[in-house]
Structure 1
Amino acid sequence: MGLRLLACVFHLPTAVIYGSLSLFVSILHNVFLLYYVDTFVSVYKIDKLSFWIGETVFLIWNSLNDPLFGWMSDRVFLSTQQAGAEISSPEVVLKRLRALSHNGPLFAISFLAFWVAWAHPGLQFLLCLCMYDSFLTMVDLHHNALLADLAVSAKDRTSLNFYCSLFSAIGSLSVFMSYAVWNKEDFFSFRIFCVLLALCSIVGFTLSTQLLRQRFQADGKEPMCNGLVVSFRLYIEKLSVPQEKRITLAEYLQQLSRHRNFLWFVCMNLVQVFHCHFNSNFFPLFLEHLLSDQISVSTGSFLLGVSYIAPHLNNLYFLSLCRRCGVYAVVRGLFFLKLALSVVMLLAGPDQVYLLCIFIASNRVFTEGTCKLLNLVVTDLVDEDLVLNRRKQAASALLFGMVALVTKPGQTFAPLIGTWLLCAYTGYDIFQRNPLSNVVSAQPKPESATALEPTLRQGCFYLLVFVPITCALLQLLSWSQFSLHGKRLQAVKAQRQSLTQGQAAEVKTI
């Protein structure tokens, strides 16, 4: 009753509470991405062999846990309706919220395991990465699945995603605050800061999931507050084919292999994940070797911080474009923009300092912004999968997991391919020279390194411009084959609403 009263007092719409979950993930995950490598390399002194063993095991687990957890969550939805075994829409949402209420706090606790040395650096690196990614995967899968389960229309889903982007931008402020307490020599202040972030995340997950659960436990009742609300009132109707056996994983994979739009999407998204992580991995390197002589340390740090916040703020505008033009057209436009900016930068050369600053920052902003929009495309694929295979309920988490299975390797390919290309062209070894700090170095370089500097600078520039050109061309090719847009998308949504009549979510602005 107290939580209901709190929701009414603050007039919290369902979409706002849903979006706030992104805040409690981003305040931790951005700090993790920025400091975990530097912590183990510079503070815990992990050796190179242990580091690559940990990254290799992490690559395998990171790719497999998404479909594994998705299958564990949604396998019941793959069977046709059995007599007397109806599943209501509120039950599906409550299932997701129960998972979030358990895994959210555990995700915050696993975040804390990185910042205290409690085992051999190699063993701790491996265990922390796998444990952290497991809980992060569970949170992401169920949070993304709710986007497909709470609403069907593109307009409603962009409204939900709008609040996710807004709260993610707020959560990115933790990057700026962390810079004030980050000190490799004295880790105490940074540890206290991480504990405070984790406590905020635990409290946030607990309150948000409880508010949403209370809102959906009263099935069929009028919502208690004004604003954006989601009302589920009826049960899923039985499908026409009775008493079929439950679909096995092999049969599901066979169905997925015939899903043409899914295959083209994961091809495009694999390149997108690669490019996003390539930008994150090499952003400090580009600043150091292309701009360190022309910009100050504070300017470089500002570019780094803005690159984490701007994609979320920029995405608010992209989402408004998606409402008017459709997600497909906006994503295609971003691919063309990435290609055009890269060609202009290539023609301008590495000596245009201001243009180089703008390009390095905008390249990451637009690339990350594209990643934020792709969840909307996956929710459309969830609809098409339900329609094509006439499922009794959309297997949202499982499909998100299968997308991650194919695309997550791009996270590891990015540093491997990037460092290999740089080493092949310039002889530069990232471990030997140790440029792993996320802060741009303004210290003078030794004279022995000046002879290699022109070649290294040229190699960084070519890496900076040719990778996005190649990615944009590959993505435009695969995206041109993707047909789930326009009239096709409208037809799929109409069929989903007819298959699950009365189930579709109504997200209204009052």
Structure 2
Amino acid sequence: MGRSVLSTAVLYGSLALFTSVLHNVFLLYYVDTFVSVYKIDKVSFWVGETVFLLWNSFNDPLFGWLSDRTFLSSPQTGSQVTSPEVVLKRLKALSANGPLLALSFLAFWVAWASPGLQFLLCLCLYDGFLTMVDLHHSALLADLAVSAADRTRLNFHCSAFSALGSLSVFLSYSFWDKEDFHAFRLFCLALAAFSILGFFLVSGLLRRRFEKEVRPRHEEALALKELSVGNAPFTSPEHPVTIQQYLKQLSRHKNFMWFVSMNLIQVFHCHFNNNFFPLFLEHLLSDNISASSGSILLGISYVAPHLNNLYFLTLCQRHGVYQVIRWLFLLKLGLSVAMLLAGADHVFLLCIFIASNRVFTEGTCKLLKLVISDLVDEDFVVNRRQQPVSALLFGMVALLTKPGQTLAPLFGTWLLCAYTGYDIFQREPAEDIPGPHVAPGSGTPPLRLGCFHMLVFVPITCALLQLAAWSRFTLHGRKLRGIKSSRQGAQHGGLVDVKAI
């Protein structure tokens, strides 16, 4: 039993590896590739990011609705959708969309159309498949387990494998060269091949294990249940739930609305750090640290959040996810205020703050799937559903929070230009986009001061707003324990728990 629990959690967590080896490289290089290598113009960049904003926001609830609508409209009696069928459906989706994600990743690194058109098509294709993979992988967290301990165990393995996947950032520096893209393309091809093979093998293993060890026992339980008299206390309504009715139910879900408000700011801050990390390195530290040191600092900032999350998850088991997230917000606020008071001239403190700011912010993001899984439980209990609509609820969260992903680079470049007059699109041809490989010479003092103010005031503002929203979130403590108890009782053993696999 112990061996099977471990191997199932390891297999589930390893799916994060096959996504992270691609996505970290994408986040770090796609803007630089199109601006510096393909020479995309400013209008095309803004148009592409705007269309991407719309697609990035709406494809999550769209795919979630297409995936989970049958769970909302299943008849009260007859062919009800069972928990094993839900999990198998998720795994089939992962086995198909994972390899397609890897193929769409390759489309970025070869010029096959005009820069503006390629930028738009690549972003939309890649994000579409990434959304499918992320939705179904995240939904499995809520579908495989209900108890906080089991979900924490699954998330623990996701963090460990994500940290391993982040090593692709370190390796990428050996191949990245704007003047000669051949080696980098081969590197990306190797990453994509590894990801395709991994998705095929792991999703296939999980499907076979699930069908062999869990489904027969569940079908036997269903056969016995048919002999019993009476209906389960929670059954789906006689009439299908329409999208309008679902949205109305969601709008009355207070904890969902407060969580989304907090998470929108979190998504903005995470992507702000991703987009402007190289800029901060160049204009705040490049006179005092070498390019290789900047590269190491950047690489560590990608790996450390996942390793740090292993410790955060142990704290979550002890004190609860709500309390740990609150502490992280307070820590972000405290570190930012301390850096503001220290000033921009302390290089060692700047190195620590730039790295820790990203580490703790990303660490918070890694814990939020546990909160969304709890919201799935609350939605299931409050609205008396036949099955939890996990993918749909994850998709609705993304609809309302993903605009922060696109607003971060747009707001950041606008703020920098308005405050300092620096525009990354209006530069001499010989100059490159800011990055860790740029030679020393960090620019004018107003630009350096502007970067420092962006570095400290953005996290201060985000932390204050997040603490205000998080204080209104009530799904923790006794209330959360009651919700989990109600969900486990409602499904009468039909739930597939990770311990059973």
Which range, TM-score by smaller chain?
A: over 0.9
Instruction: Note closer, same or farther for the CA distance 1:221–1:462 as it changes in structure 2 (3 Å cut).
Output: closer
CA distance in structure 2 between the partners assigned to 1:275 and 1:232 by the alignment: 46
Match of 1:415 in 2: 409
Show structure 2 runs of 5+ residues with no match: 226-230
Corresponding residue to 2:486 among 477, 487, 495: 495
Q: 1:281 is matched with which residue?
A: 275
In 1, the alpha carbon distance for the partners of 2:23 and 2:237 equals 44
> Which of 76, 84, 88 is the matching residue for 1:82?
76
1:251 aligns with 2:226: no
Q: Which moved more, 1:466-475 or 1:42-51?
A: 42-51
1:272 lines up with 2:266 in the alignment = yes
The range that moved more, 115-124 or 171-180, is: 115-124
Q: Does 1:101 align with 2:95?
A: yes
- Residue aligning to 2:129: 135
Q: Give 1:163-182 correspondences, 5 Å limit.
A: 163-182=157-176
Q: Is the 8 A contact 2:235 2:385 kept in 1?
A: no
Cα gap change, 1:502/1:302 in structure 2, threshold over 3 Å: closer, same or farther? Answer: same
Alignment RMSD (CA, Å):
2.1
Alpha-carbon distance in 2 for matches of 1:404, 1:349: 36
* 1:234 CA displacement: 4.1
- SS of 1:218's partner is helix
The alignment-based identity, stated in percent, is 69
Alignment partner for residue 35 of structure 1, among 17, 29, 33?
A: 29
- Bigger drift between 258-267 and 287-296 goes to 287-296
> In structure 1, what residue type is equivalent to 2:463?
A
Give me the whole-angstrom Cα distance separating, in 2, the residues matched to 1:282 and 1:75.
39
CA 1:160–1:233: 2 relative to 1, 3 Å: farther
Output aligned runs, 1:55-74, within 5 Å: 55-74=49-68
Give distance in 1, aligned partners of 2:467 and 2:207. 41
Contact 1:79 1:392 in 2 (8 A): no
Letter in 1 for 2:174: A
Answer whether contact 1:77 1:392 (CA < 8 A) is retained: yes
Structure 1 counterpart of 2:81, one-letter code: I
Give SS of 2:425's match: helix
CA distance in 1, matches of 2:324, 2:239: 41
- Once structures 1 and 2 are overlaid, which stretch shifts more, 293-302 or 394-403? 293-302
Q: Which residue of 1 is the match for residue 228 of structure 2? A: none
Structure 1 position 455 matched with structure 2 position 446: yes
Partner of 2:433: 436
The answer to whether the aligner puts 1:327 opposite 2:321 as a matched pair is yes
C-alpha displacement of 1:475:
0.4
Alignment of 1:131-280 (within 5 A): 131-218=125-212, 220=214, 234-235=221-222, 238=232, 244-280=238-274
* Whole-Å separation in 2 of the counterparts to 1:107 and 1:438: 27
CA contact (8 A) 2:234 2:386 kept: no
Which digits, 9 at most, give the CA deviation of each residue in 1:446-466, with x for residues without a partner? Answer: xxx6xxx11111111111111
Q: Could you list the per-position Cα deviations for residues 91-144 of structure 1 after superposition, in whole angstroms to 9, with x for gaps in the alignment?
A: 110000000010011111111111111111111111111000000000000000
Q: 1:14 aligns with which of 8, 19, 38?
A: 8
Where does residue 350 of structure 1 map in the other structure?
344
Report the AA paired with residue 199 of structure 1: A
Question: How far off its partner does 1:430 sit?
Answer: 2.2
AA in 1 matched with 2:26: F
Q: SS of the residue aligned with 2:426?
A: helix
Shift in Å, 1:79: 2.4
Cα offset for 1:222? 8.7
8 Å Cα contact 1:233-1:503 kept in structure 2: no
* Deviation at residue 50 of structure 1 after TM alignment: 1.2
Report the AA paired with residue 202 of structure 1: I
Q: Are the counterparts in 1 of residues 266 and 361 from structure 2 also a CA contact under 8 Å?
A: yes
Is this contact kept in 2: 1:81–1:239, CA < 8 A?
no
SS of 1:430's equivalent? coil
| Matching residue of 1:227 | none
Kindly indicate whether the alpha-carbon contact (under 8 Å) linking 1:108 and 1:198 is maintained by their aligned counterparts in 2. Answer: yes
Task: Find the aligned partners of 1:382 and 1:113 in 2 and give their Cα distance.
Answer: 35
1:399 and 2:393 equivalent? Answer: yes
Is the 1:41–1:47 Cα contact (8 Å) retained in structure 2? yes
Tell me the distance in 2 between the aligned counterparts of 1:158 and 1:456: 43
* Structure 1 contact 238–392 (Cα < 8 Å) conserved: no
Residues 387 and 179 from structure 1, CA distance in 2 versus in 1: closer, same or farther, beyond 3 angstroms?
same
Alpha-carbon shift at residue 216 of structure 1 (Å): 1.3
Q: Which amino acid is the alignment partner of residue 240 of structure 2?
A: R
Partner of residue 297 from structure 1, selected from 291, 296, 299: 291
1:486 counterpart = 2:477? yes
For 1:313 and 1:416, the matched residues in 2 are separated by 30
1:47–1:122 Cα contact (<8 Å) kept: yes
Gaps of 5+ in 1: 1-7, 224-230
Would you say the 8 A contact 1:232–1:503 is kept in 2? no
For residues 233 and 106 of structure 1, the distance between their equivalents in structure 2, rounded to whole angstroms, comes to: 36
Structure 1 residues 493, 336: closer, same or farther in 2, change over 3 A?
same
Question: Quick check: 1:157–1:376 contact (8 Å CA) kept in 2?
Answer: yes
AA in 2 matched with 1:133: D
The verdict on how the C-alpha distance between 1:509 and 1:84 changes in structure 2, with shifts beyond 3 A counting, is: closer
Give the aligned partner of residue 20 of structure 2: 26
